[in-house]
Structure 1
Amino acid sequence: MLNIHSSLGPLDAPIKLLYINPNSTLSFTLETVTYLSESDPVPSLSPYQSLASEPIPNTETRSLRYPGVRIDFYTAPSTAPPSIDGTLHGVISTAEIIRDLKLETFDGVQELREKYDAIVVSCFSEHPLIPVLKEQFALYQGAGVMEKKVVVLGILEAGIIAALRLGPTFGIATTGRNWEPLFDQAIKTLSIDSQRYTGTRGTGFNAVSLHGDGPEEKLFEAGVELVEKGAKVIVLGCAGMAPMRQKIQDRLKSQTGQDIPVVDGVLAALDQAIQLAQSRTISQLNA
């Protein structure tokens, strides 16, 4: 059974989305809830094709930038790693979430399908939970026992898609240096022209330590280095960096004299997942 600890948006919203934090640190998820609650409905320099309008209160009297959308928040169980700091942590967290949500069973998959139109896995990596969810939904749809298709997105792919729409080149500023070769490989897997990718720069912090002035300063320095290498867009390579987006963008403009969009994969994934879910809903109504 799903352990939903926080929600945004009305219960009767036509679009329902599940936000999965695949690490076990609840405070990460709660920071995202606060971030989305406080986000401007239409950011003045939003780098996304936003669906936002005036924020609306939800059942918990919080506001949300997405009208007509309900977002439920799930955090991986305590047996999952507190931070996803590499491939092994991704595999472990996937295994723990499969057990917790019973994703190896029809009932577990059916519960997600009945409740949600879209799922966002909030880890900036090629997190194995993403293909697992897609595979399980496809398995039962292929067997003819599920009709509704559920959108599944990760924030790495969504962030890069957003960046490609915004400029000719992009770079990724992330946490540990160990992610640099992993993201280089992810770019190749996504078949992105290498000339559009200026590289990844790690800050030396992990997701757990993304607090205080130190991480923000290192993130800004990584952004400046990537701009000097030719990046016209910066992608934040960790969900925990999302609240820093506007500050980093403002500082990059002041330092470089250029308007360098900074992409937050969390908002990018939510925007894209909601758009896809709405499109599928309209298609089903017209079928």
Structure 2
Amino acid sequence: MINNLLDDLIGCVKKQNLQVLNVVVRQNGEVIAKHDFAEEKPILLWSVSKTFTSMAVGIAIHEGYFKIKDKVLDFFPDVPSKYLSENLKKLTVHDLLCMGAGHRECPISKAERDGRVINDICELFFEEPFVFEPGTHFTYDNAATYMLSKIISITTGVKLDYFLNEKIFKYLDIPKPKWDTCPKGIPLGCTGLYLNAEQISRFGQLILNKGVWRGEQLIPSSYIEQATSVQIKTDDFNEFFATADHHQGYGYQMWMNSYPNSYRMDGLFGQYVVMIPDKNAVVAYTSNEPENMTGVLELTWNTLVEKL
């Protein structure tokens, strides 16, 4: 352990009053520093959950359950004809993965804003107009990630949480975690997973290792290479909190960073797993930061990366 590696980071957290809970730094496969501002325990990871869903998709594709260019409608033959459009007919698994489904806004967010009771996310997904040609326009779309979880269930016969437990979690020595589900019992995929900072740092290490853990290839390296490279541009992402780290492009349920050749898992309130291949490093944060979550991410660039 490098005792003083996090001194500047800890000082910035206190100075900026950032509600970071835990931080874990790995380099060359080992934990080299960690600091607990609060007791380390599993917490809701919000959209960090999405990257786990993506990796399940990569494994399922490798095992032959479906293909990345498969049409989404092939999995859902009973979609009412009133929802069918030329854009929807073109929609593929790839488009779901890179947030290029074609919606102008996330159907789940829209329903929540309108005060609707959400019973069937699939129906929400299909009834929302597909105004863009799939793969051409980035819209941060929680419903698209849910559809990936649903496709895992349909094709493998196993729900996402059980699938990942067998394919990844047990190899990482992580007990099967809690994962919130929709009313129909399907893990949300886009959110809902509970893990602690050290556990998500292990998952980040697995991705940095191109899917290899203790000599075993758990996730296809070719899929990780696709997932961690730009699949769609994010120049137009204009949420109020957006920074340079939101305009570098998006892979398969992962963001590219402003720091060269690096990428991240990214969740609400400051949950991050930052992978920096040029430093052979992973930095994981759990937080409860309601005001300045990008400030948590920027701790990596401002206090840490040049020391690695």
TM range (shorter): under 0.3
- Output the TM-score relative to the length of structure 1: 0.28
Structure holding more helix per residue? 1
Which structure is richer in relative contact order (CA contacts within 8 A, separation 6 or more)?
A: 2
- Output the TM-score relative to the length of structure 2: 0.26
